[in-house]
Amino acid sequence: MPRLTLGIDLGGTGIKFGLVDPMGRLLRSSKISTPSKSDPLEVVNALVAQAKAVLATLPKRKVRGIGIGAAGDIDPKTGSVRLSPNLNWRNVPLKALISRRLHYPIVIDNDANAAAWAAYVVEAKRRVQNLLCVTVGTGVGGGLVLNGQLYRGSTGSAAEIGHITLYPDGAPCPCGNQGCLERYVGARAMAAEARRAIEAGESTVVSKMVHNDLSKITPLILEKAARQKDRLALHLWSQVGEHLGIGLASLINVINPEWIVIAGGLSRAGNLLLDPVRRTILKRSFHTPASAAKLVISKLDQELGIVGAGLLAH
């Protein structure tokens, strides 16, 4: 049996754990919920306890290390979290806090970087050189593999594609900018748009599907409605796909990737999302790089984060 790593996906609501082999196969996984958001020590306690429980099932020599993908602005060199809005953390020396309690090599990176690395190793099987991984969940995350290596940029801050400007005069974003891509793409943006339309009197099966509780609108509901040819739902998917496509067209002209892997909650809608994305890319980016960019829906999806974190520790 090859040696394994423990991959950990540390998010604002849950912490996922999994044993990962060198090929990126996930051998066992578990999940706990993230404790009281603003206290790093409480989170570290819970994380360490569960990690110990998982690692106790293996002889120590079988474990190569621990990889952690965390949401936020991570310094991969020191393993500290500079800022994480999801965890409500600022300057938390995560690696130092964990190293004291778990005596394995520890690697910490941004969760979207970890996801991109898993997409590269497991889904693209390292057969391409340049890959962009886009996670369209609540918001929009990104990771880049360039020339066959995870690209982190100068301070580990690269690939924050949810915060490229889509509309310079657009809606304010908590990041300080206006009109970020994330304001227009993602579960939050779609639900808000659906609520606005329904409150403005638009008739749609969505109202009935959520029993008129508009806080219950999710991408899954909107997908079901669109499959029933609901006009509002179809329009929302077309709009979100176009917005994502505008952002990806710019990125294709700058990054010129061979693969664009799309993961996250919205990716499960498949062609409802991909068709308008593809149309927009062909219209808005240069012919040569647009033809070279293959759009792929991630199969690992929810597991990308754990698998990627585990692979980074191999």
Among 64, 152, 183, 314, binds a second copy (CB under 8 A): 152
Q: Which two tokens stand for residue 203?
A: 């008739």
Give least dist CB 75 to a second copy, A: 8
The helix or strand, by DSSP H or E, that contains position 9, with its residue range, turns out to be strand 4-10
Q: Which is nearer to a second copy, 150 or 191 (CB)?
A: 150
Residue 91 in contact with a second copy, rule: CB under 8 A? no
User: How many Å separate Cα 165 from the centre of its chain?
Assistant: 19
Say how far apart CA 120 and CA 129 lie, in whole Å: 9
Nearest approach in angstroms of CB 119 to a second copy is: 16
Token pair listed for 5: 């790593």
Q: Taking CB under 8 A as the rule, does residue 78 contact a second copy?
A: no
CB of residue 129 to a second copy, shortest distance in Å = 6
Is 83 a binder of a second copy (CB under 8 A)? yes
Is residue 151 a contact residue for a second copy (CB under 8 A)? yes
Residues 293-312 that bind a second copy (CB under 8 A): 293
Please tell me the distance from the alpha carbon of residue 249 to that of residue 269, in angstroms, as a whole number: 20
For the segment 210-269, give every residue that binds a second copy (CB under 8 A).
246, 249-251, 253-258
Helix, strand, coil share (%) of the chain residues, nearest 5: 45, 25, 30
172 forms part of the interface with a second copy (CB under 8 A): no
Query: Which of helix, strand or coil describes residue 270?
Result: coil
Q: How far is the CB of 43 from a second copy (least distance, A)?
A: 22
The nearest distance, CB 74 to a second copy, in angstroms, is 10
Q: How far is the CB of 62 from a second copy (least distance, A)?
A: 33
Q: Which CB, 249 or 266, lies closer to a second copy?
A: 249
The smaller minimum CB distance to a second copy, of residues 104 and 151, is found at: 151
Please report how close the Cβ of residue 34 comes to a second copy at its closest, in angstroms.
23
Question: DSSP states of 163-183 as a string?
Answer: GSBS-TTS-B-TTS-BSBGGG
- Applying the rule CB under 8 A, the residues between 118 and 137 that interact with a second copy are 128-130
**Beta carbon nearer to a second copy, 19 or 290:** 290
* C-alpha span between 248 and 126 (Å, rounded): 22
Q: Tell me the site size for a second copy, rule CB under 8 A.
A: 51
Site residues for a second copy, window 57-76 (CB under 8 A)? 73
Q: What value does the CA radius of gyration of the chain take, rounded to a whole number of Å?
A: 20
Between 82 and 195, name the residue whose CB sits nearer to a second copy: 82
* Nearest alpha carbon to residue 50 among 1, 5, 102, 100: 102
Length of the chain (residues): 314
Decide: is 143 part of the binding site for a second copy (CB under 8 A). no
What is the spatial distance between Cα 312 and Cα 177, in angstroms, rounded to a whole number?
31
Of 65 and 179, which has the nearer Cβ to a second copy? 179
**Residue 286 touching a second copy (CB under 8 A):** yes
| Residues within the interface to a second copy (CB under 8 A) | 73, 82-83, 128-130, 142, 144, 146-147, 149, 151-161, 163-168, 175-178, 246, 249-251, 253-258, 283-289, 292-293
